[in-house]
Amino acid sequence: MRRGVWLALAQVGLAGVVGGVLALLGTGVVVAMVFGGSSMGYLAALVLFVLLVALLMAVSRVAPEASLLTRTRGGRLFWGVAVGGAGFGLWLLAWQISDEAGLGFSKFPLLSVVPFTLVAGVLLRRWYLALGFLAVSVTLALVTLHALAAALPSDVDQRLAAAQLTRESIVVTSVPGYHALPQLKSWQLEPDGADPYPLSPYVTLYSLVDTPGPDCAFDESDSRFPAVLTCTAERPGLAYIDGAAVTNAYIHRVAGTQLLLTAPKYVDRAVLRDAILTVRATDPPGTFTTTIPGYTVESANPSGTSFIPDDRTLLPGSGTIQVHTRPAPTSDDCPSTCERETPTLRYERDAYTHQYVQRASTLEIIVQGGLAVPRDTLRTATQTAHPATDDDLRLVLPPAPPSRTQSHSPLESIRSLARTLFGP
C-alpha cells in the first residue's frame, strides 16, 4: 500500500513537471509567433496542447491504479485533457492574479508545476490524498484572494476615480438640524424637514402676440400660462387666473399685445393687478417692465422680464450649506467685500450667498450658505470642518460604473469574489 501511495505521488509530481514545463515553453512560442505576425500561432497552440495531453497520458501509466480515470485508454485520455486543460487554465489565472496581488508568481517559473500538480492530486483514487490536495488548493486560493483583496482599490477609491476627485478635495462638517444630501460629489447640507419642492419665488412678465377672442380664452398648452383653476374677466382686456397649482397670473390686452404676469400664490392679488396695469416699455426694444413692491428686476429681454424678491431668504436653496475646497492662493489678501476674523479665517458676502473661507495648509475650505443660514452657523460649520471618512465619501459619491470591457470577464468575477470575502 505504501508503494502505491508513493507511485501515486510520483505520478502527480511528474504531471506537474510536464504541465509546468510545456506551459512555459508553449506559451513563449505561441506569444512569439503571434506578435511576430505569424498566422500559425493558434495552430501551434493546438499542437502543443495535443502534445501536452499525450505526455500526460504517458505519465498516467506510472501508476494506472492511482486514479479511477487512468485504468483505461479512454480514461487516460480524459485524465490528460482534464489535468492539462484545468491545470493550464489555473496557471494562467494564478499568473495574472498573483501579479495583480503583488505576489509575483511570474517571477518564479518553477511554481508553474503547482496548478497541474494540484489538479492531478485532486483526481487521485485514495480519498485522503485527494482531500489533502483539495485542502491545499483551497488554502492557496484563499491566500491569493486575500492578497488580491488587499491590493485592489476599495469601493471608495473607485468612486473617487470615477468622479475624478481626490480624498483631500472633499471636506465635511456637521450642523445641528441639517442633513447631508447624497451623491452630489461635494458635501451639501439641507435643513431637516425642508420642502423638496419649494415654491418658485420669481415673478415673470411676458409679452405675447394677442389673438382675437374672449379674455379668458388662451392657449393652455403654452407652458408660460399657469394651470387654470378659474379665470375671471375683471373688465374688457383684463383677466385674472387663479392657478390650479402654485401660480396665479393676470392677462392684460393692450394694442395687439397680450401681457402676462405670473407670480407665486402668496403675492397679493391687488399687488399683481396694480403691476400689470402699470407695465411700461423698457430697453432693449420689445421688452416690458413694471414695479412690484418687494421685487427687483433680475433680467429683461424680449422673451420675458424676471423679477427676484428683495428678501433673498425666499430664494430656492437659501437655507442650504455647501462645503468646497480649492488650492490656497500664494497670497492671502482679503478682498474689499470680506471681513478677516482671524489670520486664517475670513467672511465674505454677496447679493445671494455668504461664506466663510478657512485656510488649511495648501487648501482653502469654503463653507457657503444661502442668506437664510445664520452667519454664526456658517462660522461654526467652518471651524468644525474635517476630512471626509470613507462613510462620508460613500454618501456623497455615486457608485463607480461597472467596466464595460471587464464586467463579465473571469478576472473581474475573481476580483469581485475577493472583495466579497476579504474586502472592507
| DSSP bridge pairs for 243 | 228
Residue 371: what pLDDT? 93
pTM above 0.85? Answer: no
Residue 18: what pLDDT? 87
Distance CA 229, CA 220 (A): 12
Residue 375: what pLDDT? 95
Distance CA 408, CA 383 (A): 47
Look at residues 255, 291, 286, 257 and name the one whose alpha carbon lies nearest to residue 274.
291
Find out whether 419 and 152 touch, Cβ atoms under 8 Å: yes
Look at residues 68, 72, 43, 45 and name the one whose alpha carbon lies nearest to residue 57.
72
3-state secondary structure of 325: strand
C-alpha 226, offset from chain centre: 38
Torsion over CA: 347, 348, 354, 356 (sign) = negative
Find out whether 92 and 39 touch, Cβ atoms under 8 Å: no
pLDDT one-digit tens code per residue, 158-215: 898 888 999 999 999 999 999 999 999 999 999 998 888 888 899 999 999 888 889 8
Q: Which helix (H) or strand (E) holds 396?
A: helix 390-396
The CA-atom distances, in angstroms, between 302 and each of 128, 284, 286, 319 are 89, 7, 5, 32
Look at residues 207, 228, 202 and name the one whose alpha carbon lies nearest to residue 216.
228
Interhelix angle 410-422/73-100, nearest 10 degrees = 60
Q: Would you state the cell numbers that stand for residue 296, as one nine-digit string?
A: 427687483
Find out whether 378 and 355 touch, Cβ atoms under 8 Å: yes
C-alpha 255, offset from chain centre: 55
Q: Which helix (H) or strand (E) holds 415?
A: helix 410-422
Concatenated DSSP letters of 72-118: SHHHHHHHHHHHHHHHHHHHHHHHHHHHHTT--GGG-GGGGHHHHHH
DSSP secondary structure code for residue 398 in this structure = P
Those residues of the chain that have pLDDT short of 50 are none
Distance CA 355, CA 358 (A): 10
Distance CA 66, CA 16 (A): 15
pLDDT one-digit tens code per residue, 274-296: 999 999 999 898 899 999 999 99
